[in-house]
Structure 1
């Protein structure tokens, strides 16, 4: 059985519950930016994090795991987190000596942030149509 800390109204962790529900929307744009960073070449996100998509998906899955209350969704998000961590460790083990220095551009970083925020806003607007879950 999974040990999951549940956040729901009226729980004994009401301060933690309020903190999570009121601040979860501040973390998700970071996830969108990191996912976009994997597709735009020569940016600082990719240079320093090396696996921005896997890290972004891990952040996305963790935030959704904290706010969902159904066990079938828990299994999906736990599997997503475990797979991403496994892939990061595997890729780092394979490529630890194959480091390439690339010239990064701040212009590409601005493009990553702008496209990530645009993508995040569009995902918020289309969340109900994509997942069937209303955010209001």
Structure 2
């Protein structure tokens, strides 16, 4: 598998498979598992993705590593504090959006929360999200 097409863009695991790939931003997201359930959030803030379900995460700030960004973003978006040593890096994905053309890097992490029921976590959504199916 070299390139995967999706509605509005394409992605690859190697930047060489996307001609002229030139990322202008980086995003870190996290696949969070709690008691066998995956935490998804319903987007509210961006017109092109409002109403869509997604994993929590967001843009890296200046001089921030992907790990620092994902820990910060998860805390901001859900009020869950991830332990960096328990946050596992999975892969970086190269993404190109077609219109308007934009290239970026998506750093994917995974966390399995300690053996607890989802109700043991109080998830406080920020203004970027409207709903979550867990709990």
Q: Give the structure, 1 or 2, with the largest relative contact order (CA under 8 Å, sep 6 or more).
A: 2
Whether the TM-score (by the shorter chain) exceeds 0.5 is: no
Q: TM-score, normalised by structure 2?
A: 0.27
Please identify which structure carries the higher helix content. Answer: 1
Please identify which structure carries the higher strand content. Answer: 2
Q: TM-score, normalised by structure 1?
A: 0.27
Structure with max Cα Rg: 1
